[in-house]
Every structure is written in C-alpha cells, then in structure tokens.
Amino acid sequence: METIFHEKQEGSLCGQHCLNALLQGEYFTAVDLAQLAQDIDEQERHRMAEGGETSDEYQRFIQSPSDNMDDSGFFSVQVIASALRVWALDLIPFSARNEISMSAQTDPTLQKAYICNYREHWFTIRKIGRQWFNLNSLLTGPELISDTYLSLFLVQLQREGYSIFIVNGILPNCNADNVLAEQIVTQNEKPRLLSEVNKSKTKSKERNQSLTEEDDKELEEVLRMSIESNAEAERRQMETALAMSLESTPKPINQFSTEEEMLDRALKMSLEAL
C-alpha cells in the first residue's frame, strides 16, 4: 500500500491531486493547471470575439471571472480534460450511450480508471495491479475497493449527484502497478476523512489545554498551601524561641517596672537571637 502515490488535500487543489493520483506521480502543479486554464480562457475569448467585440455578450464575457479556474485552486472539467490529453487520455461520461460507457455500466471492472466530480471536488478511482483503490485526496490514504463494491460505489456516487468520467487510454507505467501486479494487498483499517482527523486533533488539543489549566490551578494551590505552611512554621519557631528566651534569661524581679516591660524586653532579646 505504501507504494501507491496519494496526495492529501491542500486548499482546493483537488484537481491537481486527482490528476497526480491517476498518473501516480507529481506530474502536475497548480501553476501547470493555471496555465492550461488561461489558454482555454484565451481560446474562449477568441471565439466570443468572432461575434463582435462590441457586443453585449462579449463585454459580459470579458468582465466575468474565469469559469475554468478560481483563486481557491479549483479547475474545470475542460482543464482536467486538457491536462489528460497531454498523456493521450480522454474523458468519457460514464452515463453516455456509447460503446465504452455501456460496457462500463455493465461491468465497471473492465475499465482502468474513473474520475469523479461533485460540487467542485475531483477525485480518482483507479485499478492498480489487480485491485481497485479510491484515491480521494480528502482521505488519509488510499482506500481498497473490491470488484463487487466498485459497482455499488459508482451507483452510490451517481445518486449523490457526482459526475463520473471514464478515463480512456493507456495510463503511464508506475511503480505501484508493477508491485501490486505481483501481490494482493489487504486493508484492515479503512482510511479516515482528513476533516475527522483534524477535528479529533482539535478536540485533543483543547482537552490537553484544559488539563494544563487544571494542572496550573493545582500547582497554584500547592504553592499557596506551601507558603501558608511556611508562615505557620515560622510563627511557631518565633513562639518557641521567645519561650526559650524567657526561660533561659533569669533577671531580678524588680528590673522591670511592669509585666509589659518584661515581655517587651524578652521579645527584643528573642529577635536579636534570631
């Protein structure tokens, strides 16, 4: 499983992650796809200009943001298809009525890969070696899919509103394909959604922070009790020293005029002794 190339979601660069997962390598960057999007925008602008650059339709077009990319990192199906044509690969709608699509609907395992899109999110389902994997960048890693579940999974995606495309053509050779062609892998634990992992980390951080605050409070209480204990010990030591001073210093009764003077004198001598 470690040999499978899988990019985790960064920003809204799912188009980039989808293509690289399909090709099993870092073949495209956001800059590459942005350049393709700009090229498509320019081609569309030329077509719109054929109707007259002073037309309301053309003016609305040039003033509108690009439909092929945005600042978040999203790329349109035209950009994805243009990137795949670099590798002589085509996108064919899964629900179409042509021969390839009908064959895929009957038995999805006869194809090599699928690209899925819903609400501007792209991800790849691909056969690597002899097994199928969901390479969604929103997951912590590749998800193993059985041949039986592949059909159910595609039906489920369609019901959820996903657009599914068959990747038609010969995919470039990859190390994972070579390795997994010789062995069957198992997956004891399914990958989790990154959003769930991040949420769990946030809760753990908050819990640790709460424990730290409780520890701080306990430490403050221990210090307070220690200070009070020291103060009490010092007070007792003072009383003991005073008592010892009075007992060990005999003086004539008439040396002091009053009992208060005697006590004051004893206290001073105790303090001097300390």
H/E run at residue 46: helix 30-49
116 included as an active-site residue: no
Q: Is residue 217 part of a domain?
A: no
pLDDT for position 151 = 96
Cβ contacts of 160 within 8 Å, gap of 6 or more: 118
pLDDT for position 54 = 77
174 included as an active-site residue: no
**CA 106, CA 110: separation in Å to the nearest integer?**
9
Q: Is residue 86 part of a domain?
A: yes
Q: Which residues of the chain have pLDDT under 70?
A: 200-215, 226, 229-235, 237-274
Q: Is residue 81 part of a domain?
A: yes
Cβ contacts of 195 within 8 Å, gap of 6 or more: 138
Q: Is residue 90 part of a domain?
A: yes
Residue range(s) defining the domain that contains residue 89: 14-25+70-195
Question: How far from the centroid of its chain's Cα atoms is residue 31's Cα?
Answer: 22
Q: Is residue 114 part of a domain?
A: yes
Residue 80: helix, strand or coil by DSSP? helix
- Dihedral sign (CA 98, 47, 81, 17): negative
Asked if 37 and 15 touch (Cβ cutoff 8 Å), the reply is no
**CA 74, CA 120: separation in Å to the nearest integer?**
7
**CA 145, CA 135: separation in Å to the nearest integer?**
10
Which amino acid is residue 241, in one-letter code?
A
- Options 6, 14, 17, 117, the catalytic residue: 14
pLDDT for position 2 = 87
Q: What angle do CA 122, 79, 194 make, to 5 degrees?
A: 20
Q: Is residue 35 part of a domain?
A: no
- Options 17, 18, 121, 134, the catalytic residue: 121
Query: Model-level pTM?
Result: 0.71
> Backbone phi, then psi, for 216, in 5-degree steps?
-60, -40
Question: For residue range 1-28, what is the model confidence (pLDDT) as tens digits?
Answer: 889 999 999 988 999 999 999 999 999 9
**CA 194, CA 221: separation in Å to the nearest integer?**
40
Q: Is residue 259 part of a domain?
A: no
- Rounded alpha-carbon distances, angstroms, from residue 229 to 218, 219, 240, 242, 267: 16, 15, 16, 20, 23
Cβ contacts of 95 within 8 Å, gap of 6 or more: 101, 105, 158, 164
Q: Is residue 207 part of a domain?
A: no
The number of distinct structural domains making up the chain is 1
14 included as an active-site residue: yes
- Rounded alpha-carbon distances, angstroms, from residue 227 to 221, 223, 235, 271: 10, 6, 12, 22
CATH number, residue 83: 3.90.70.40
pLDDT for position 243 = 63
- Options 20, 117, 134, 136, the catalytic residue: 136
